[in-house]
């Protein structure tokens, strides 16, 4: 199958003026500003197949937004190519716009002082839908997103969760094939977050919409994305399944054991997180000590009543990725999940 | 102690304002251009049909020489352009509810905004007086008696701005009762333009209108300070300062009253 | 789904939708609408009074302009300005839209960026100016079908040029970060100069008023044509105004290629 989004050697840098400190320097800066080049995206490659849900992650300033803007035709690349459904986003901006939907958390496409229903109808006109088509589509989205209750209230009176639901519904008015979501769950509470995730998953399943989303939220990535692309310092440092990512990035396991008698572990690469009576929670770095070695050490001292081995939580994986300096992780074979 | 509090607010706002070099330049460029427009217009008018001759031999209209008219406009425009639009942040605070936090702070809300805004205004007035001095001198020559009138002129201009700022504070507080307050500002601003003699000395008006306008608060924002500087006499100076003082006190009392009833409304409605 | 047939009429349909949309949005706050419209009308009256007082005092004319001629400038400017800000209300906010990266929204929509962004906002107070200008015209000018036609044409041209000049100057924000103050001043100056008798400005100023601040082509020459019809001058005005529109569209396009989507100011060092 032809990839729906295809990015090759994509490169983009920005020139920015350096802000000077002090009055004299500020005046000098007005006349001759000092400039500095920032390489936002440095020759990245990836391809996305139709129907995929891909998480695009990386710390702030890693190049996520720039990449999305290059793919959607907002920015023009310095080098490399982007193809979305075979189109060049910058040259065929308008043609592409009919086929993609976008939700950028900070930049709303809804009119703040008007009810979403009005904005939806206007969007219908912007995307050249007939009035009948628009009405039908709004009805459908109102039902799916359960926004009927407040669709006629001005956006400024909606809660953040209600607003985001309307934003996503609005981005789907023209039945796009690809949906780009930039931080869709930022600032939402757990319940609303889960609801948004369910909706994204549903749209992906029912309308076969390819979803490309950026998020810092572990839950977003783990619960709806099968694949993740990690970008840092403008380069892609990981591209693979979310499951594999967990193992390659953080080769650690959390072992919780309940013993029959007293036991201690003092092996290299093992940290005791908690210990009470005969129970303990330890963290094992598999690159230093294998799981087998830890368990046999425990069994040498007493018998095991209960044991759980789990991989590190997703939050930790993400923190780990963000803290790294951008060197790709050495490829490691995925280990058996407990 | 309390006076120091407001002095600090004043000083910080003044320092903060110096940073805005770009807007400073824009304002002064606009000021110079508007003076140029006035100069172009009045040059033609005085070249036409003057209705009198001054002691110096210069032609006059309504008792003003062309030099006096242009300097008059320099002063009124300084007063107008240097005024920070303080009603905007106040009405914004009222509308988005942040005023509730300001009420908890240990100062008078009205005096806080007036000191803050006057700090910004003073920083704008000083360079504009300088710009105006240079530009008006280049266009029409020096103003006779400029230095004699300077001490009273400075006080009168600052007082004029203070009256304008107090009125703006009241307008900002009207946001408790009206969704959009900027039309009130436009109306007041235009009253200052017309009744206050912003564009033309009130002496140009038909007698009856000039006599009414002269004693309105708006005239003490623009007409009285500017005419005192261009046509100085101790008599006129006394009228200006006393009138400005009376109106400033009255308006401050009104602002305090408006604020009190606004707070009552806030408490009743719970914000 | 093939939408190509409908796409051709798309921009006009969108323009009509924006107009209805913006109008109903302004009407939703009816008190505010009335206050703003009345406020603007009072605002303009202040200046009218100034001119009446001035002409009353000096008698005769100012450099060939009688009171009625100045009133013509005022009615023209108010009507044209009102039209411009009601239909293309975003023109004066273009710098902010560019440097804050808000232009993204319009780049993601399948419509020409410039008209889409300009029309997506209305300034309610513009209705006050629009109505004021028309009333002032009918109250102060000699009425004939030809005169009304010329007035309508010139008002429309003034509105279009005012928007274009704003677009041209605000396009500087693509290259220089926030040019809001500079561009705002340029728009303000054009409006200011259109309101004074053109003949009082001579020498270098007259050059500026035919180029950088083209008040001559939207107000002074139209006022001359209105007093004594001249087909040659009319052709010049239309050609000059078309050129201004063209230049501003080109400047915007050139800037758009440099658009950085708010990334420039996003990082501060």
Q: What is the pLDDT of residues A116-169, one digit of tens each?
A: 999 999 999 999 999 999 999 999 999 999 999 999 998 888 998 999 999 999
pLDDT of A27: 59
Give how far B25 is from chain A: nearest CA, Å: 12
Three-state secondary structure of B215-227: CCHHHHCCHHHHH
Assigned CATH class of A250-325: alpha beta
User: How confident is the prediction for chain B on average, in pLDDT?
Assistant: 89
User: CA-CA distance, B14 to B121, in Å (whole number)?
Assistant: 8
Q: Check whether A19 has a pLDDT greater than 70.
A: no
Q: Is A9 left (phi over 0), alpha (psi -120 to 50) or beta?
A: left
Residues A237-255, mean pLDDT to the nearest whole number:
80
Residues B226-249, mean pLDDT to the nearest whole number:
96
The token pair that represents A250 in the structure block: 């953080």
> With an 8 Å Cβ cutoff, are A74 and C13 in contact?
no
Q: How far from the centroid of its chain's Cα atoms is residue C28's Cα?
A: 25
Using 50, 70 and 90 to split pLDDT, how confident is the model at C60?
confident
Find the closest chain A residue to B21 by CA distance. A27
Greater model confidence, C116 or A270: C116
Interface probe for C, chosen from B183, B190, B218 (most Cβ of C below 10 Å), is B183
> With an 8 Å Cβ cutoff, are C35 and B205 in contact?
no
Q: Which CATH superfamily is domain A5-246 in?
A: P-loop containing nucleotide triphosphate hydrolases (3.40.50.300)
Residues C182-207, mean pLDDT to the nearest whole number:
92
Q: What is the dihedral of CA B184, C135, C216, C83, to 10 degrees?
A: 70
pLDDT of A335: 34
Interface probe for C, chosen from A14, A15, A16, A17 (most Cβ of C below 10 Å), is A16
Using 50, 70 and 90 to split pLDDT, how confident is the model at C252?
very high
- Least confident range of A140-144, A190-194, A248-252, B229-233: A248-252
pLDDT in tens, A35-56: 778 888 999 999 999 999 999 9
Which ranges constitute the DSSP H helices of chain B? 2-18, 21-47, 66-81, 87-96, 99-104, 109-140, 146-173, 182-194, 207-214, 223-230, 234-269
Give backbone dihedrals phi and psi of A273, rounded to 5 degrees, phi first.
-90, -40
Find the closest chain C residue to A119 by CA distance. C21
User: CA-CA distance, B34 to B28, in Å (whole number)?
Assistant: 10
Find the closest chain C residue to A127 by CA distance. C110
Burial B253-265 (b: 16+ CB within 10 A, else e): eebeebbeebeee
Which residues of chain A are within 8 Å of residue C260 when distances are taken between CB atoms?
14, 75
> With an 8 Å Cβ cutoff, are B18 and A23 in contact?
yes
pLDDT in tens, A70-91: 999 998 899 999 999 999 998 8
Q: Are C104 and A74 in contact (CB under 8 A)?
A: yes
pLDDT in tens, C11-57: 888 999 999 888 887 777 777 788 878 888 888 888 999 999 999 98
User: CA-CA distance, C40 to C38, in Å (whole number)?
Assistant: 5
Q: What ipTM did this prediction achieve?
A: 0.86
Which residues of chain A are within 8 Å of residue B22 when distances are taken between CB atoms?
30
pLDDT of B55: 66
Whole-prediction pTM value?
Answer: 0.82
Using 50, 70 and 90 to split pLDDT, how confident is the model at C268?
very low
Interface probe for A, chosen from C98, C107, C115 (most Cβ of A below 10 Å), is C107
* B108 burial level (CB within 10 Å; 0-12, 13-18, 19+): middle
Using 50, 70 and 90 to split pLDDT, how confident is the model at B47?
confident
């Amino acid at each position: 199958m032809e990839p729906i989004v295809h990015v090759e050697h994509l490169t983009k840098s920005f020139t920015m003026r350096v802000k000077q400190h002090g009055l004299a320097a500020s005046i000098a800066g007005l006349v001759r500003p000092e400039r500095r080049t920032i390489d936002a995206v440095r020759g990245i490659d990836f391809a996305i197949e139709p129907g995929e849900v891909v998480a695009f992650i990386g710390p702030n300033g890693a190049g996520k937004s720039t990449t999305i803007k290059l793919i959607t035709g907002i920015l023009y690349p310095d080098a490399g190519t982007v193809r979305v459904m075979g189109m060049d986003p910058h040259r065929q901006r308008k043609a592409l716009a009919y086929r993609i939907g976008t939700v950028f958390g900070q930049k709303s496409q809804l009119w703040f002082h008007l009810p979403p229903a009005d904005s939806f109808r206007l969007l219908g006109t912007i995307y050249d839908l007939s009035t009948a088509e628009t009405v039908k589509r709004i009805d459908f989205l109102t039902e799916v997103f359960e926004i009927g209750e407040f669709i006629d209230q001005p956006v400024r009176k909606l809660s953040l969760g209600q607003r985001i639901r309307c934003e996503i519904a609005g981005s789907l008015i023209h039945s796009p094939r690809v949906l780009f979501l930039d931080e869709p769950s930022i600032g939402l509470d757990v319940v609303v977050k889960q609801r948004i995730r369910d909706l994204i998953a549903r749209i992906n399943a029912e309308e076969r919409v390819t979803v490309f989303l950026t998020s810092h939220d572990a839950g977003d990535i783990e619960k709806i994305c099968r694949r993740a692309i990690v970008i840092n310092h403008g380069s892609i440092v990981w591209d693979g399944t979310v499951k594999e990512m967990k193992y390659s990035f953080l080769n650690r396991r959390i072992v919780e054991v309940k013993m029959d008698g007293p036991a201690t572990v003092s092996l290299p690469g093992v940290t005791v997180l908690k210990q009470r009576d005969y129970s303990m929670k330890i963290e094992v770095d598999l690159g230093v000590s294998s799981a087998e070695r830890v368990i046999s050490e425990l069994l040498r001292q007493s018998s095991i009543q209960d044991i759980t081995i789990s991989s590190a939580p997703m939050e930790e994986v993400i923190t780990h990725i963000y803290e790294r300096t951008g060197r790709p992780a050495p490829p490691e074979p995925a280990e058996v999940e407990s | 102690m309390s006076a120091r509090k407001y002095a600090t607010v004043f000083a910080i706002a003044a320092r903060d304002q110096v940073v805005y070099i770009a807007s400073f330049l824009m304002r002064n460029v606009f000021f110079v251009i508007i003076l140029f427009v006035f100069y172009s217009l009045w040059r033609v008018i005085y070249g036409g049909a003057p209705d009198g001759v001054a002691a110096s031999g210069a032609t006059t209209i309504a008792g003003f020489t062309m030099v006096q008219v242009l300097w008059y406009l320099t002063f009124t425009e300084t007063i107008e352009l240097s005024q920070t639009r303080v009603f905007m942040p106040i009405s914004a605070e009222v509308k988005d509810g942040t005023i509730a936090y300001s009420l908890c702070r240990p100062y008078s809300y009205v005096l806080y905004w007036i000191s803050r805004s006057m700090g910004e205004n003073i920083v704008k007035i000083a360079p504009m007086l300088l710009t105006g001095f240079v530009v008006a001198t280049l266009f029409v020559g020096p103003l006779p008696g400029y230095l004699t009138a300077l001490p009273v002129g400075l006080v009168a201009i600052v007082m004029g701005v203070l009256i304008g700022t107090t009125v703006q504070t009241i307008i900002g507080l009207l946001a408790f009762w009206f969704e959009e307050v900027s039309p009130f500002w436009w109306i007041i601003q235009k009253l200052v333009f017309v009744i206050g003699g912003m564009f033309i000395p009130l002496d140009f008006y038909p007698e009856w209108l000039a006599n009414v306008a002269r004693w309105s608060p708006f005239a003490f924002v623009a007409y009285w300070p500017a005419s005192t500087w261009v046509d100085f006499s101790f008599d006129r100076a006394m009228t200006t300062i006393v009138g400005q003082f009376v109106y400033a006190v009255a308006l401050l009392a009104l602002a305090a009253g408006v604020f009190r009833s606004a707070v009552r409304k806030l408490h009743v409605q719970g914000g | 789904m093939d939408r190509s047939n409908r796409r051709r009429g798309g921009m006009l349909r969108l323009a009509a939708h924006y107009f209805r949309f913006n109008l109903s949005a302004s009407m939703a706050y009816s008190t505010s609408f009335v206050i703003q419209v009345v406020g603007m009308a009072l605002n303009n009256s202040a200046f009218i009074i100034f001119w009446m007082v001035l002409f009353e005092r000096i008698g005769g004319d100012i450099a060939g302009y009688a009171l009625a001629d100045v009133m013509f400038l005022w009615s023209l400017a108010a009507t044209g300005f009102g039209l411009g800000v009601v239909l293309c209300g975003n023109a004066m906010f273009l710098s902010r839209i560019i440097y804050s990266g808000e232009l993204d929204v319009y780049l993601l929509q399948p419509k020409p960026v410039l008209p889409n962004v300009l029309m997506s906002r209305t300034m309610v107070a513009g209705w006050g100016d629009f109505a004021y200008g028309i009333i002032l015209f009918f109250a102060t000018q000699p009425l004939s079908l030809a005169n009304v036609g010329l007035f309508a044409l010139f008002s429309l041209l003034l509105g279009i040029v005012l928007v274009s000049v704003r677009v041209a100057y605000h396009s500087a924000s693509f290259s220089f970060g926030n040019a809001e103050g500079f561009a705002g001043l340029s728009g303000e100056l054009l409006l200011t100069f259109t309101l004074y008798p053109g003949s009082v400005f001579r020498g270098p100023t007259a050059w500026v008023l035919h180029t950088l601040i083209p008040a001559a082509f939207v107000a002074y020459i139209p006022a001359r044509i209105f007093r004594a019809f001249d087909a040659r001058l009319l052709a010049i005005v239309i050609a000059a105004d078309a050129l201004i529109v063209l230049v501003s569209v080109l400047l915007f396009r050139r800037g758009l290629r440099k658009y950085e989507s708010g990334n420039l100011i996003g990082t501060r060092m």
